[in-house]
Each structure stands twice: as structure tokens, then as C-alpha cells.
Amino acid sequence: MTFGNAVQRLFAPSARPFTIVVGTIIVLGLFDRGTGYFFSIGTVFSVMQLFATLGLVALGLGLSMLIREFDLSVSGMVGLAGCIAVLTGASNPWLGAALGVAAGLLGGLIQGLIMTRLNLSSVGVTLGGLLTMQGLTYVLTDNQTISYPKIAVPLGLNAPLAGLFSLRSVVALAVFAIAALAMRYTRLGRDVIATGSDRRASRIAGLNTDRVVISVFAASGGSSALAGVLLSYSLGAASPVALSDVLAPAAAAAIVGGVSVIGGRGSPMGIAAGVLTLCILSSGLSAIGVAPYVHDLVTGAILLVIAILDAPDLAQRITTWQFDRAERQRNALKGASS
């Protein structure tokens, strides 16, 4: 029973992402069996490099899921912001980065305004946004890969810091820290959870939910745009086709990270754990020599388990089953003693 309680606590929605990431490390460590392929500084570094891109996108998408919306435009934002940064930052990388991120904020803001003013759902609006941004990216790049002339920028962004991190992954971690503090300590953070748990109730209780929605989509756009800027700068190139498939892993990371698809539950730290899980699976499985298609299988299995754990009456069914079993045991004892 106490063991059952401990398991239940470890898999409670707020603790689950951290349990899963630790579990993943332990399981991969067992496969590693001291060969050092998995437990190496190189693996940590590559996990953090993956984290830098996937994390910022998953954070944006996860924030939109927190208010029970879904920002499909995140992958379009990554590509568009990367191109803008490479095109406008040729002489001054800071300018390019600022314009790239500004484009993301603006894109999110416009989508949020359209949704709230016209009372539309995010899926339709952000799907439109996604296609628009992809189209814009093709136009801006003329469907060519554009290389970035300043070699120092990719080198600087990717140079290892303390062996484990790079400037790129440190920036991503800093954004997560800011998001976590904002969710916990600011009014907007509190209002995001309230809006996500019941938009209508929050609105008639006097909360300006439109402002919350617009802010979240601006933040989501900005975060994805930053991911795109960092990625393009560190690759030293922007291409219209790069990373169009980041949406599914980002959604998976957010869900593994404890963001509820029905809104109102989740945290930046949980999302970070979810992203880490996916990144560790990806580099860890490669490091121990597992074929890439297995990554998807494992991620898919974890998502399915989480979906099943979230089934509304599962906990109750288990409790009922436990009661029944205890009852049967008591009856059996009674039968034996009489």
C-alpha cells in the first residue's frame, strides 16, 4: 500500500515529467552498462544542443496548450525568424536576432488579435499563420538555402561552455527560467492558469481573458522565433525547408512535460523535463547504437502511457479493484478460519 502510494505520488500530474526524465536516464544508463557511450560529456552536450531548439518551440506551444489552445504556427515561426535573422543580420547579428524575434512576437500578436476579436479557434487561425509564414519564408529566401557570412557567430554560439553547455543552450535555459518565474510570480502567469482551466468563468469573473490569449500567442511566437534565430545562426544558414517537422516533437515534449491538452495544467519546468526526456531519448538511443526509428516508437509508447494515465476514471477503477481484492482476501481468510 505504501509502495502504491509512492508510485501514485511519482506519477501524479505535477511530478510525472520529472519521474519520466529520471526514469529515462536510469533505463538508458542500464543499457549503457558502463561502456560510457551514454554517460558521457558528449551526450550531455548534444542533449543540450537539441534542447535549445526543441525546448523553445515546445515552451511556446506548451504555453498555448495551457490556455487550451494550440499554436500550430510554431514551426512556421522557426523557419521565418531564422531567415529574417540571416538576411537582416549579415552585418550585425544582434539586429538580425532582434528583427527575427520581433517578427515572432508580432506574428503571435496578430494571430491572437484575430482569434480574440473574431472569436475564432486557434487551430484554424494558426494553421493559416503556419502556411502564411512558410510562404513568406519561401519568398524571402527565393527557395534557396542562404548562408550566413559571419563565421564567428555559429562558432561562438556552439562553443562548449563548461563542457556541457553552449551559449545557445544557456540562452534556452535562461528563457525557461524566466518563463518559470513569470508563471509563478506574475499576474499574467496566474491568469494563464485561470484562463486555461475555465475561459468563460474567468471572463465573467472579471478577468481580461482576451489579453491573456494575445499575450500567450505573442510569447509563443517570440519563443519559437528565438529558437529559429539561434538555430539558423548556429548552422550558419537558413533554409526554407529546415525543421518543418518540429511541431510533433514539440507537442510530444509538452505533453510528456505534463501540459494537459484540456488546458489549465502544466508548468515551464515540466515542459523542460518533457523536452529533456525527448532529447535524452534521441541522443541517448543514438549513443548506444539504437536505430532512429526506435526513438519514435519509444516516444510514442510514452505518450500513449501518459494518455492512458490521464484517463479520467482510471484511478477510480484501480481503487475499486484494490477494494475488491481486499474484500476477497478478507472473505478468503474468514472462510479459512471458520
Q: How near is the Cβ of 182 to another protein at its closest, in Å? A: 10
Cα 183 to Cα 27, 66, 232, distances in angstroms: 32, 11, 29
Q: Quick one: 204 or 241, whose CB is closer to another protein?
A: 204
- Give the chain's radius of gyration (CA, Å): 22
What residues contact residue 310 under an 8 Å CB cut-off, 6+ apart?
A: 13, 260
Binding mask of the shown chain, residues 169 to 188, with x at each position contacting another protein by CB under 8 A = ----------------xxx-
- What is the size of the binding site for another protein (CB under 8 A)? 23
Contact status: 68 vs another protein (CB under 8 A): no
Q: Quick one: 32 or 69, whose CB is closer to another protein?
A: 69
Q: How near is the Cβ of 189 to another protein at its closest, in Å? A: 8
Contact status: 319 vs another protein (CB under 8 A): no
Calpha distance 337→38 (Å, rounded): 56
Contacting residue, 202, 220, 283, 299, with another protein by CB under 8 A: 202
Contacting residue, 116, 197, 244, 286, with another protein by CB under 8 A: 197
Contact status: 258 vs another protein (CB under 8 A): no
Binding mask of the shown chain, residues 203 to 242, with x at each position contacting another protein by CB under 8 A = xxxxxx----------------------------------
Do residues 254 and 271 lie in contact, with contact meaning Cβ atoms separated by under 8 Å? yes
Which among 147-155, 199-207, 244-252, 287-295 is the span making contact with another protein, rule CB under 8 A?
Answer: 199-207
Q: How large is the greatest C-alpha to C-alpha distance in the chain, in angstroms?
A: 91
Q: How many CA atoms lie within 13 A of 194 on its CB side?
A: 20
Contact status: 265 vs another protein (CB under 8 A): yes
Calpha distance 259→106 (Å, rounded): 25
Q: What's the angle, vertex CA 87, arms to CA 144 and CA 77, rounded to 5?
A: 80
Contact status: 201 vs another protein (CB under 8 A): yes
Q: How near is the Cβ of 223 to another protein at its closest, in Å? A: 21
Q: How near is the Cβ of 264 to another protein at its closest, in Å? A: 4
Q: How near is the Cβ of 203 to another protein at its closest, in Å? A: 7
Q: Which helix (H) or strand (E) holds 286?
A: helix 268-287
165: helix, strand or coil: strand
Calpha distance 236→247 (Å, rounded): 22
Q: Tell me which residues touch another protein (CB under 8 A).
A: 185-187, 189-191, 193-198, 200-208, 264-265
